[in-house]
Structure 1
Amino acid sequence: MAGQIIVGLTGAPVSRRVVDWAIARAAERKQAIQLISVVGGAIGTVGEAEVLGAAQTATQQLLESEADRIRQAGVAVTTRVDSGNPVTKLIEASADAGLLVIGSDYRGAGTGPARGVHGIRIAAGSKSPVVVVPDRDLGEGDGVVVGIDGSTVSEHAIEFAAAEADRLREPLIAVSVWTPLHTPRNAMEVYPDLYLANMQSMAEEVLAMSLAGLASRYPDLKIIRRAERGHPSQVIGDIAQDARLVVVGTHGRGAVARFLLGSTSQEVLSYLPTVTAVVR
């Protein structure tokens, strides 16, 4: 993937995990990193300039500290302190990036959904793929999970996931989820076997068609196909609990798209099962 890795940093504890993830990827793919931190909240009130200046100085010191770690790993790095709306600034920066990496305060099951909507809005509006790193120890993990629905966006997610799985020398776990037609209570307590069998068959066909040709491009890649019944975000999230990475696609069309994701990608981001990539 061409372009540098943009890393959006704050003073939150998760920032160190974000930088660690970016270092590992940049070192393997010979990419440069740019650290960006945005000082927000300025409204132009009297006396604000001094406060803003102090905040920018402290932020630059934070970036330089992380930049030193990156240089020690042999990765080229630049830093940039900006002011304004963090969502807008990071979306603008993503236009020239190969990848945007941000953190989340989410610490796992039982802690509730990730606070705030900034990460979801950034992922929805970004011009590049976005990786979101949760604030917890994930261990080694096993495999790269990708959600597949047969769409063009799904094709982009597959390509991203396959490249990452190949880089990490992990299996690619391709998941297609089918959901029975919803009916009012008691309308159909038992679905016909033929209907269920056909739904399962269609999901398996989606996997076969979507993954065709992948083995020739990644001959050493192990591919695991899973066609599952259930709600897409829940099934993908459950499978991804023990994975190194999960990749989901989002359409992101139209003017409203910068604030909206598809339901599956938004739900996965709200309860991050592991490091999560959102690909358009």
Structure 2
Amino acid sequence: MAGKIIIGVTGAPVSRRAVDWAVTRAAQRRQAVELVSVVGGAVGAVGEAEVLGAAQTATQRLLDGEAARVADAGVPVTTRVESGNPVTKLIEAAADAALLVIGSDYRGPGTGPARGVHGIRIAAGAKCPVVVVPDRDLGEGMGIVVGIDGSEVSEHAIEFAAAEADRLGEPLIAVNVWTPVHTPRNAMEVYPDLYLANMQSTAEEVLALSVAGLSSRYPDLRIVRRVERGHPSQVLAGIAADARMVVVGTHGRGALARFLLGSISQELLSHLPTITAVVR
């Protein structure tokens, strides 16, 4: 993947995790990175210019420190300080980027309403793939999980995930989750065996077609196919909890694309079982 990686930088500890992950990837793929940090925009208050100036100076010091910290990686690093809304400014900064990487603002269950909202909004609006790094030690996860549904966006997610798996020498875990049709009078979820068998068979066929051709492009890639019954986001989160990354597509369309995100990708970003990539 050619092009620059944009990294959203804040003073939070998770920001360092995001920088480290992105710089490591950039070094392996010979990409440049740009560290971008955003301070609040002007609202017209008395004395505001002095406050903003001080904030921008402090923010530039933060970026300079991060650039110095990763200098030994041998990756070209530039920095940029922006003023305004963080979501909007990061989306704009990544308009021509190959990848946008941010640390999560998710604070875990029971800690208020802001459950990774910045990551969700940025993933919905960015033109490039967005990677969100959780604020915790991920341990020794294995495999790159990708959610598959047969759509065009899903194909983009598969290609991104396959390239990551090949780069890392990890297996690609391709997952297609099917859910029986819900009917109000079927609270016990009793379905004919033939219907369930057909759903399973169709999902297996979609999965097989989706990964066909990967072996020719990535001859050393090991592909693990999984077809599961259940709710897609729950199943993917469960599998991804033991993986290095999970990759899903976003289904935003048309003029409202920047405000819309598919329910599966949104729910994964709301819980972050591991490093999560959303691909348009």
**Normalised-by-shorter TM-score class:** over 0.9
**Residues 191 and 28 of structure 1: is their aligned pair in 2 closer, same or farther, counting only changes over 3 Å?**
same
* Contact kept in structure 1, 2:105 and 2:119, CA below 8 Å: no
SS of equivalent residue, structure 2 residue 36: strand
Q: Distance in 2 between matches of 1:35 and 1:189?
A: 50
Q: Distance in 2 between matches of 1:168 and 1:113?
A: 35
AA at the equivalent of 1:205: E
Moved more, 68-77 or 30-39: 68-77
1:90 aligns with 2:54: no
Q: Distance in 1 between matches of 2:230 and 2:116?
A: 27
1:279 aligns with 2:279: yes
Alignment of 1:130-209 (within 5 A): 130-186=130-186, 189-209=189-209
Equivalent residue number for residue 242 of structure 2: 242
**Residues 20 and 161 of structure 1: is their aligned pair in 2 closer, same or farther, counting only changes over 3 Å?**
same
Equivalent residue number for residue 62 of structure 1: 62
Equivalent residue number for residue 230 of structure 1: 230
Equivalent residue number for residue 37 of structure 1: 37
Deviation of residue 96 (structure 1)?
A: 1.4
Alignment of 1:71-90 (within 5 A): 71-90=71-90
Residues 197-218 of structure 1: CA distance to partner in whole angstroms, max 9, x if unpaired? Answer: 1111111001001011111100
Q: Distance in 1 between matches of 2:185 and 2:139?
A: 42
AA at the equivalent of 1:260: L
**Residues 208 and 110 of structure 1: is their aligned pair in 2 closer, same or farther, counting only changes over 3 Å?**
farther
Residues 12-55 of structure 1: CA distance to partner in whole angstroms, max 9, x if unpaired? Answer: 11111011101110110000110000112421212100000000
Residues 235-268 of structure 1: CA distance to partner in whole angstroms, max 9, x if unpaired? Answer: 0000000100100000221222212200000001
Q: Distance in 2 between matches of 1:219 and 1:6?
A: 30
Q: Distance in 1 between matches of 2:219 and 2:240?
A: 24
SS of equivalent residue, structure 1 residue 97: coil
Deviation of residue 107 (structure 1)?
A: 5.8
Q: Distance in 2 between matches of 1:213 and 1:238?
A: 27
Question: What percentage of aligned pairs have identical amino acids?
Answer: 82
Equivalent residue number for residue 251 of structure 1: 251
Residues 174-197 of structure 1: CA distance to partner in whole angstroms, max 9, x if unpaired? Answer: 000000000114466421111111
SS of equivalent residue, structure 1 residue 273: coil
Q: Distance in 1 between matches of 2:89 and 2:11?
A: 17
Deviation of residue 115 (structure 1)?
A: 2.8
Q: Distance in 2 between matches of 1:35 and 1:199?
A: 46
* Contact kept in structure 1, 2:99 and 2:130, CA below 8 Å: yes
1:24 aligns with 2:24: yes
Deviation of residue 110 (structure 1)?
A: 7.3
* Contact kept in structure 2, 1:153 and 1:251, CA below 8 Å: yes
**Residues 211 and 111 of structure 1: is their aligned pair in 2 closer, same or farther, counting only changes over 3 Å?**
farther
Q: Distance in 2 between matches of 1:49 and 1:112?
A: 32
TM-score by length of 2: 0.96
TM-score by length of 1: 0.96
SS of equivalent residue, structure 2 residue 55: helix
Equivalent residue number for residue 266 of structure 2: 266
Note the residue ranges of structure 1 that are not aligned, 5 or more in a row: none
**Residues 107 and 22 of structure 1: is their aligned pair in 2 closer, same or farther, counting only changes over 3 Å?**
same
SS of equivalent residue, structure 1 residue 237: helix
Q: Distance in 1 between matches of 2:142 and 2:187?
A: 41
Note the residue ranges of structure 2 that are not aligned, 5 or more in a row: none
* Contact kept in structure 2, 1:107 and 1:136, CA below 8 Å: no
Equivalent residue number for residue 100 of structure 1: 100
Q: Distance in 1 between matches of 2:113 and 2:163?
A: 29
Deviation of residue 87 (structure 1)?
A: 1.1
Q: CA RMSD, aligned part only?
A: 1.6
